[in-house]
Amino acid sequence: MNRMLTPSNRERALLSSAGIFADLENAETEALRGCSTVMTCAPHEILFQEGEPGVYFYSLLEGYVRLFRLNERGQEADIRICEPRDTFAECLIEAGGTYRYGAQSMDNTVLARFHVGKVRALLAEYPRIGAAILRSLSLHLLSTIECLANDRMQTAPQRVAHYLLAHCVEEEPATASLQLPFPKNLLARKLGLAPEALSRAFSTLKSAGVTVHGRLIAISDVNALRKI
Amino acid sequence: MNRMLTPSNRERALLSSAGIFADLENAETEALRGCSTVMTCAPHEILFQEGEPGVYFYSLLEGYVRLFRLNERGQEADIRICEPRDTFAECLIEAGGTYRYGAQSMDNTVLARFHVGKVRALLAEYPRIGAAILRSLSLHLLSTIECLANDRMQTAPQRVAHYLLAHCVEEEPATASLQLPFPKNLLARKLGLAPEALSRAFSTLKSAGVTVHGRLIAISDVNALRKI
DNA sequence: CGAATATTTGAGGGCTATCAAACTGGGTGG
DNA sequence: CCACCCAGTTTGATAGCCCTCAAATATTCG
């Protein structure tokens, strides 16, 4: 059910603001954009499944996409929650063949889809595009590493505290707040927790001054939260 | 205590067999090799710490190196166990600045060390070197993703079974064996387990036909192991 | 306003970390 | 050759953490 669109000005602007376009010159931006198509996706729609031939990589313009791996027994583990401006599956450019994880739209999403073969063909002429992809992959590797380390060292309340501290805006001295960009079950997936465990983590953090009202979260003492 | 060496022929051959040199032509190989120095490291020696300025990336020629992240409280979580031919910290080329994890020699190791700035300067002239690094990073990202997914889905015996099946050589119909390349405590770190948990996982797997004698492991029924 | 969807709460149990102690095997020096 | 030592490994006991299932409660959206 993907509706293809001729990119509107707004979408062109969104695309240019994607991380993978940072530091590119005009000619490179145009070349890379020429490999792309804008498309939309309904919530819960599967973009691709693990094991399918990998022809495209994607930049997310609006909405949320989760990347996940499948078990033999059909269990799913989320690898990453993508937000607007994120690029995913770009590792196909050099580790090609098939998608190594699935991708599911978790919202009404707008995506730019890049043809891997066309982009690969640009690399010789535009080495800075290669550098941009290298940077994107490096950052993904580092964030996956951080996720793995956090999984291995942190309890559920610590993971939540870590997320809150990384995403909140500090207001008064030592107080802060934030609004979650997506529902709590997506946050739970991102942190590798069952939704119930996330809920219990929030209630544990109440004693550290965290107040939750739907997606709005207030932190009364940033320093207390850091000590969790 | 790093002893610098002029690369012997053996070390030159080892270096060329490192994954990052696969698919490179002679000129590219020579250019990349020109950025490198061979060095040795004693067991337990720290190659670099998380947060240090990142000047070099490495290819391991002999021995084992563990990559790990540190907590505020001093806990360590292992990210990856590097084996000969593995390259690590190459993400510095585009996500530079500081090392984002520590590296410790776990053996008498021999390494090739590449100057990040020099390698970066080669990318414009030799785009295939960029492609080689892109491939290396892609594979690391995929293996880290797999590790994360396994951590989130598999129990200790399942992780061990998975490792055994991935590394054993099948002999008679359905029987197989392998020798661990490193001590069990390194395997435990690699799998994100306490050494005691690894030991207990092996004893659980006895009932699936796994026999352990030191580093030698025999599997009497590969298919039974797959069902764990 | 009501149905569907999220989230919270409770109870129970499985899994693994931790601590402590026994054990193994290979290498050393007597 | 043997007793000893040491690092690595195994075993036992305990406790904490989080998943699962089930049910109650909020929220969201049409």
Mean pLDDT computed over every residue of chain B: 92
DSSP string for B152-207: HH--HHHHHHHHHHHH-EE-STT-EEEE-SS-HHHHHHHTT--HHHHHHHHHHHGG
Q: Return the pLDDT at A1.
A: 47
Q: Return the pLDDT at A208.
A: 92
Q: Is A42 a residue whose pLDDT tops 50?
A: yes
Q: What is the pLDDT of residues B67-81, one digit of tens each?
A: 999 988 888 999 999
- Report which of A81, A74, A134 is spatially closest to residue A103, judged by C-alpha positions: A81
Answer with the one of A125, A152, A179 that is the final residue of a domain.
A152
DSSP string for chain A: -PPEEPPPHHHHHHHHTSGGGTT--HHHHHHHHTTEEEEEE-TT-EEE-TTSB--EEEEEEES-EEEEEE-TTS-EEEEEEE-TT-EESGGGGTS-SB-SSEEEE-SSEEEEEEEHHHHHHHTTT-HHHHHHHHHHHHHHHHHHHHHHHHHHH--HHHHHHHHHHHH-EE-STT-EEEE-SS-HHHHHHHTT--HHHHHHHHHHHGGGTEEEETTEEEES-HHHHHT-
**Looking at the structure, do residues A148 and A163 belong to the same domain, yes or no?**
no
In this structure, how many other beta carbons lie within 10 angstroms of the beta carbon of residue A168?
18
Q: What is the mean pLDDT of residues A51-80?
A: 94
Q: What is the pLDDT of residues A149-176, one digit of tens each?
A: 999 999 999 999 999 999 999 888 889 9
Crossing angle (nearest 10°) for helices A195-205 and A156-167: 70
**Looking at the structure, do residues A118 and A82 belong to the same domain, yes or no?**
yes
**Looking at the structure, do residues A109 and A11 belong to the same domain, yes or no?**
yes
B196: left (phi over 0), alpha (psi -120 to 50) or beta: alpha
d(CA A136, CA B83): 25
Encoded tokens for B131: 């492609």
Residue of A91, A148, A149 lying closest to B142 (CB–CB): A91
In this structure, how many other beta carbons lie within 10 angstroms of the beta carbon of residue B10?
11
Residue B59 contacts residue B18 (beta carbons within 8 Å): yes
How many residues are given for chain B?
A: 228
**Looking at the structure, do residues B86 and B197 belong to the same domain, yes or no?**
no
**Looking at the structure, do residues B27 and B97 belong to the same domain, yes or no?**
yes
Domain count, chain A: 2
Q: Return the pLDDT at B154.
A: 96
Q: Which residues touch strand D (CB under 7 A)?
A: A 75, 155-157, 192-194, 196-197, 201, 213-215; B 183-185, 195-196, 198-200, 202-203, 212
Residue A156 contacts residue B80 (beta carbons within 8 Å): no
Among A148, A158, A225, A227, which would you mutate to test the B interface (most chain B Cβ atoms within 10 Å of its Cβ)?
A148
**Looking at the structure, do residues A214 and A197 belong to the same domain, yes or no?**
yes
Q: Is B117 a residue whose pLDDT tops 70?
A: yes
Give the CA-to-C1' distance from A43 to C4 in angstroms: 15
A122: CATH: 2.60.120.10
- Of the pLDDT bands very low, low, confident and very high (cuts 50, 70, 90), residue B6 is low
d(CA A172, CA B3): 54
Domain that holds residue B166: 155-227
B74: left (phi over 0), alpha (psi -120 to 50) or beta: left
**H or E stretch at B28:** helix B26-33
DSSP string for B88-111: ESGGGGTS-SB-SSEEEE-SSEEE
Q: What is the pLDDT of residues B10-52, one digit of tens each?
A: 778 888 888 888 889 989 999 999 999 999 999 999 999 999 9
Chain D nucleotides close to protein (CB under 7 A) are 8-13, 17-22, 27-28
Mean pLDDT computed over every residue of chain A: 92
Answer with the one of A152, A182, A201 that is the final residue of a domain.
A152
Q: Is A52 a residue whose pLDDT tops 80?
A: yes
**Percent residues over pLDDT 70 in chain B:** 96
Q: Is B125 a residue whose pLDDT tops 60?
A: yes
**Looking at the structure, do residues A190 and A110 belong to the same domain, yes or no?**
no
**Looking at the structure, do residues A66 and A142 belong to the same domain, yes or no?**
yes
**Looking at the structure, do residues A67 and A164 belong to the same domain, yes or no?**
no
Give the amino acid at B132.
A
Q: Return the pLDDT at B4.
A: 55
Q: Tell me which chain B residue has its CA closest to the CA of residue A194.
A: B152
**Looking at the structure, do residues A144 and A184 belong to the same domain, yes or no?**
no
Do residue A77 and residue B127 have CB atoms under 8 angstroms apart? Answer: no
Encoded tokens for B166: 């991935």
Q: What is the pLDDT of residues A97-106, one digit of tens each?
A: 999 999 999 9
Nearest-5° angle of CA A120, CA A126, CA A129? Answer: 65
**Looking at the structure, do residues B72 and B180 belong to the same domain, yes or no?**
no
Answer with the one of A117, A152, A187 that is the final residue of a domain.
A152
pTM above 0.95, yes or no: no
A192: CATH: 1.10.10.10
**Looking at the structure, do residues A138 and A162 belong to the same domain, yes or no?**
no
